[in-house]
C-alpha cells in the first residue's frame, strides 16, 4: 500500500510501524480498490490493485485531487460535494458511480467509505474501498433490457395474454385481452382471477386447469373453451397455460395465452362435413357394388324361375289334358308319348334340383341387401344430435358392413367382441364415423403393403373390452406401420402421407375430435414400422 509519509497512523498505540506495514501489505493483496484521501480531498494512499485496475501509479497520483482524476467532468462538482459531505459527516457512507481509468474507460464501482478522525475529533482522512461491478452492471443492464423486450413482446402478441401470480392476482393484461374481454388493463390489474371478475368463460374448465398447472408446474392446453366476447355472442378459445418458475424452482406466475378459434372451428366444421361427404361418396360406390352383386343374382334367378315356371306350366297343362282324357275312358298312346317327350325336353329333373336352389339364393341375396340397408341406417343415425345409449358391438358391426368394399380386396377382418359390454352413452353417428375413418385408414395402410391383393392379404382385427370405468376398442392392422418422426402428427388436421388427390388428411383428425372433444374419451396409437398399427379408443362408462 503506497501512502504519504504525512498520513496519520491507523492504530492507536504500540508498535505503530509494524502495524501500519501489516495493514499496508494486506491492502496491497486485497482484490478491491483502496484509496485514501486527506481532509481536503487529495490522494495520500493508493493500493496495488488500484494501480492495476486504473493504469495509474501511486507516484502519478499522490497529492492530486481525487475527484478531478477519477470522475467525468460533468460529475466532478457533484462528487466533490459528496466528498465534502464525508468530511463533515453529513452523507451516507456508500455509493455507486462511474470511475475513470487512465485510458478513459468508465468502470462501475461500488464504494464503501470510512471516515478516520484525529485525536481532536476532526476528520483526518477518508478511506475509499471500492469493488469493480462493471461486468455485473453490464449483465444486469442486459437482463433488464431482455426483460423489457420480453415484456414488450408479451404485451404485443396477437393472442390474449393474462398473467396471474401465486395468489391468482392478475399481473398481466394485454391489449388483446382488453378488446376481446371488454376490460381495460387498469381495471383488471390487481384483481383476483375469479368468477366474479367479470370474465365470462367456462370457469369450471379454466379453474381446474389453473389448479393442475400450479400443482404440477406443467403446461396445459384447453381446446374449444366457450366464452362470451364483449358485446358479442358465444365464441370459443384455444387456451395454453404456462407456469413460470421462480429462482427456487417453485411456481411463481401463470401465463394464460388464448386465441379466438371461433372462425377456425366453424371452418373445421365445414371441412368435417366435406370429409363426411367425401366418405359418403366413397362408401356409396362400394355399397352400390355390394348391393349390385346380390341384386344381380336375385334378378338372374328370378328370370330363371319365370322361365322354369312357364315350362312347368306347359307340362302341367298337358297333365291336365291327360286327366281329362282319362275321365273319357281312353288315352291314346300318342298323347302319352307326347307328354313323355315334353318331360324330357323340359328336363324336369334339372328343374326339380335347380328351382329350390335358385329360391334359396334369391332369399340369401335379399337378406344380404336387407343387411346392408339396415347397416347403412344404423351407421348414419339421422337426427342423433344428443347422446344416447348405444350397443358398441352392433355399431361397429354396422360400420364393418358398410365399409366392406374398402377392405375386402386387401384384407381379412376378424372381430373379438366382449358380449358383456354395457350400453355406452355416445353420439352414434359420429362414433360410427370415427370407427369408419380408422377402418378405411387401416385398409389403405394394408393396401400400401400388399397392393391390390396380388401379394396376399393383410388382416384387420377389431376387439372390444369392458373395463371398470370405460370401454376399450382396439382396431389393429398389419400395414406398414407409422414412421416415428411423424407419429405425433397423424391426428393433425390436413396431415397426410398420401399423394395429391388421395385424401384430405382429415380422417384421423376427425376421429380424434369425435372421441376426445365430443365424447371426452381418449385415442392413442401403437405402431411398429413394417409390422402394423393399433388404434386404442377408450370411452367412459360414467358420462
pLDDT of the residue at 414: 95
pLDDT of the residue at 479: 92
Same domain, 318 and 269: yes
CATH number at residue 424: 3.30.565.10
The residue behind cell 469493480 is 132
428-450 vs 262-328: helix crossing angle, rounded to 10: 80
CB 47 within 8 A of CB 2: yes
Residue 314 makes CB contacts below 8 A (sequence gap 6+) with 342, 346
Which of 475, 381, 372 is closest to 428 using CA atoms? 381
- Residue 367 in any domain: the answer is no
pLDDT of the residue at 96: 85
Q: What is the mean pLDDT of residues 32-41?
A: 87
- Residue 370 in any domain: the answer is no
- Residue 334 in any domain: the answer is yes
Same domain, 393 and 469: yes
Same domain, 357 and 386: no
C-alpha cell read off for 245: 418458475
CB atoms under 10 Å from CB of 170, counted, come to 23
C-alpha cell read off for 172: 398481466
Pairwise CA distance, residues 114 & 128, whole Å: 7
pLDDT of the residue at 12: 37
pLDDT of the residue at 498: 60
C-alpha cell read off for 467: 373395463
Please state which of the ranges 271-280, 329-338, 516-525 shows the lowest mean pLDDT: 271-280
Please state which of the ranges 156-160, 244-248, 353-357, 495-499 shows the lowest mean pLDDT: 495-499
* H/E stretch holding 483: none
Same domain, 352 and 231: no
The yes-or-no verdict on residue 91 having pLDDT over 60 is no
pLDDT of the residue at 453: 64
- Residue 525 in any domain: the answer is yes
Residue-wise pLDDT for 3-29, tens only, equals: 554 444 333 334 445 555 555 666 666
Q: How far is CA 500 from the centre of its chain?
A: 26
Residue-wise pLDDT for 168-212, tens only, equals: 999 988 888 888 888 888 888 998 988 878 888 889 999 999 999
User: What is each CA distance from 67 to 83, 100, 129, 517, in whole angstroms?
Assistant: 8, 10, 15, 73
pLDDT of the residue at 5: 45
Domain assignment of residue 223, given as a range: 157-260
Same domain, 353 and 418: no
* H/E stretch holding 394: helix 392-402
Same domain, 231 and 165: yes
Residue 137 makes CB contacts below 8 A (sequence gap 6+) with 108
Quickly state the pLDDT bin for 156 (edges 50, 70, 90): low
- Residue 375 in any domain: the answer is no
Report the DSSP beta bridge partners of residue 108: 98
Same domain, 174 and 266: no
Task: Please state, rounded to an integer, the average pLDDT across all residues of the chain.
Answer: 82
Same domain, 78 and 203: no
Same domain, 501 and 391: yes
Same domain, 535 and 449: yes
Question: Per the structure, how many domains does the chain have?
Answer: 4
pLDDT of the residue at 282: 67
User: What is each CA distance from 160 to 144, 181, 229, 258, in whole angstroms?
Assistant: 24, 9, 12, 5
Instruction: Rounding to the nearest 10 degrees, give the CA dihedral for residues 51, 53, 56, 57.
Output: 10
- Helix ranges, 217-261 (H): none
Which of 253, 263, 276, 192 is closest to 511 using CA atoms? 276
- Residue 145 in any domain: the answer is no
348-380 vs 392-402: helix crossing angle, rounded to 10: 120
Quickly state the pLDDT bin for 472 (edges 50, 70, 90): very high
pLDDT of the residue at 11: 37
pLDDT of the residue at 393: 95
- Pairing status of strand 170-173 against strand 220-228: unpaired
Residue-wise pLDDT for 384-426, tens only, equals: 568 899 999 999 998 898 888 889 889 999 999 999 999 999 9
Quickly state the pLDDT bin for 439 (edges 50, 70, 90): very high
Q: Which of 309, 331, 362 is the last residue of a domain?
A: 362
- Residue 372 in any domain: the answer is no
CATH number at residue 221: 3.30.450.20
CB 435 within 8 A of CB 395: yes
The yes-or-no verdict on residue 366 having pLDDT over 90 is no
pLDDT of the residue at 21: 59
Same domain, 270 and 245: no
The fraction of the chain above a pLDDT of 70, given in percent, is 84
Q: What is the mean pLDDT of residues 318-329?
A: 78
C-alpha cell read off for 227: 366464452
Residue-wise pLDDT for 512-531, tens only, equals: 888 998 888 999 999 999 89
The residue that leads in pLDDT, 320 or 231, is: 320
* Cα-based angle 425, 429, 431 (whole degrees, multiple of 5): 60
Q: Which of 362, 390, 405 is the last residue of a domain?
A: 362
Terminal Cα distance for the chain, rounded? 83
Report the DSSP beta bridge partners of residue 426: 388
CB 163 within 8 A of CB 254: yes
* H/E stretch holding 289: helix 262-328
Pairwise CA distance, residues 473 & 426, whole Å: 14
CB 155 within 8 A of CB 149: no
Residue 348 makes CB contacts below 8 A (sequence gap 6+) with 312, 315
Evaluate if pTM is beyond 0.75.
Answer: no
Quickly state the pLDDT bin for 489 (edges 50, 70, 90): confident
- Residue 148 in any domain: the answer is no
Same domain, 294 and 255: no
Amino acid at each position: 500500500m503506497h501512502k504519504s509519509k504525512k498520513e496519520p497512523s491507523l492504530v492507536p498505540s504500540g508498535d505503530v510501524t509494524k502495524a501500519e506495514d501489516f495493514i499496508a501489505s494486506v491492502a496491497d493483496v486485497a482484490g478491491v480498490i483502496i484509496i485514501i484521501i486527506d481532509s481536503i480531498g487529495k490522494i495520500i494512499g493508493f493500493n496495488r490493485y488500484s494501480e492495476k485496475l486504473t493504469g495509474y501509479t501511486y507516484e502519478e497520483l499522490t497529492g492530486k485531487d481525487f475527484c478531478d482524476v477519477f470522475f467525468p467532468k460533468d460529475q466532478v462538482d457533484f462528487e466533490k460535494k459528496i466528498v465534502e459531505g464525508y468530511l463533515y459527516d453529513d452523507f451516507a457512507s456508500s455509493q455507486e458511480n462511474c470511475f475513470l481509468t487512465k485510458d478513459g474507460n468508465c468502470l462501475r464501482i461500488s464504494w464503501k467509505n470510512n471516515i478516520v478522525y484525529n485525536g481532536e475529533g476532526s476528520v483526518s482522512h477518508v478511506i475509499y474501498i471500492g469493488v469493480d461491478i462493471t461486468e455485473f452492471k453490464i449483465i444486469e443492464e442486459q437482463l433488464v433490457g431482455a426483460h423489457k423486450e420480453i415484456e414488450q413482446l408479451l404485451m404485443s402478441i396477437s393472442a390474449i395474454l393474462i398473467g396471474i401470480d401465486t395468489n391468482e392476482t392478475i399481473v398481466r393484461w394485454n391489449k388483446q385481452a382488453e378488446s376481446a374481454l371488454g376490460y381495460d388493463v387498469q381495471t383488471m390489474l390487481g384483481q383476483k382471477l375469479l368468477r366474479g371478475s367479470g370474465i365470462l368463460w367456462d370457469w369450471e374448465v379454466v379453474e381446474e386447469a389453473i389448479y393442475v398447472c400450479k400443482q404440477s408446474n406443467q403446461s396445459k392446453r384447453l381446446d374449444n373453451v366457450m366464452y362470451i366476447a364483449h358485446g358479442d355472442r358465444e365464441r370459443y378459445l384455444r387456451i395454453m397455460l404456462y407456469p413460470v418458475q421462480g429462482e427456487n424452482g417453485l411456481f411463481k406466475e401463470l401465463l394464460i395465452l388464448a386465441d379466438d378459434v371461433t372462425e377456425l372451428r366453424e371452418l373445421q366444421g365445414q371441412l368435417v362435413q366435406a370429409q363426411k361427404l367425401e366418405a359418403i361418396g366413397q362408401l356409396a360406390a362400394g355399397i352400390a357394388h355390394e348391393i349390385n352383386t346380390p341384386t344381380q343374382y336375385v334378378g338372374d334367378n328370378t328370370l330363371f324361375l319365370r322361365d322354369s315356371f312357364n315350362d312347368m306350366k306347359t307340362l302341367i297343362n298337358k297333365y291336365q289334358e291327360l286327366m281329362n282324357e282319362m275321365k273319357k275312358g281312353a288315352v291314346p298312346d300318342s298323347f302319352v308319348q307326347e307328354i313323355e317327350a315334353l318331360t324330357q325336353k323340359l328336363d324336369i329333373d334339372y328343374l326339380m334340383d335347380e328351382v329350390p336352389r335358385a329360391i334359396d339364393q334369391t332369399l340369401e341375396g335379399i337378406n344380404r341387401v336387407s343387411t346392408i340397408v339396415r347397416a347403412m341406417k344404423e351407421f348414419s343415425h339421422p337426427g342423433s344430435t344428443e347422446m344416447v345409449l348405444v350397443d358398441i358391438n352392433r355399431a361397429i358391426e354396422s360400420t364393418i358392413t358398410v365399409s366392406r368394399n374398402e377392405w375386402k380386396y386387401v384384407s381379412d377382418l376378424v372381430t373379438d367382441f366382449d358380449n358383456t359390454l354395457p350400453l355406452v352413452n355416445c353420439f352414434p353417428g359420429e362414433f360410427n364415423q370415427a370407427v369408419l375413418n380408422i377402418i378405411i385408414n387401416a385398409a389403405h395402410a394394408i393396401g400400401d403393403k400388399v397392393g391390390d391383393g396380388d401379394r396376399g392379404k393383410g388382416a384387420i382385427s377389431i376387439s372390444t373390452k369392458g373395463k371398470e370405468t370405460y370401454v376399450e376398442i382396439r382396431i389393429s392392422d398389419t400395414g406398414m406401420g407409422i414412421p416415428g418422426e411423424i407419429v405425433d402428427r397423424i391426428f393433425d388436421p390436413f396431415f397426410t402421407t398420401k399423394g395429391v388427390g388421395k385424401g384430405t388428411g382429415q380422417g384421423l383428425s376427425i376421429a380424434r375430435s369425435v372421441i376426445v372433444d365430443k365424447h371426452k374419451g381418449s385415442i392413442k396409437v401403437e405402431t411398429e414400422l413394417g409390422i402394423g398399427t393399433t388404434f386404442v379408443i377408450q370411452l367412459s362408462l360414467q358420462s
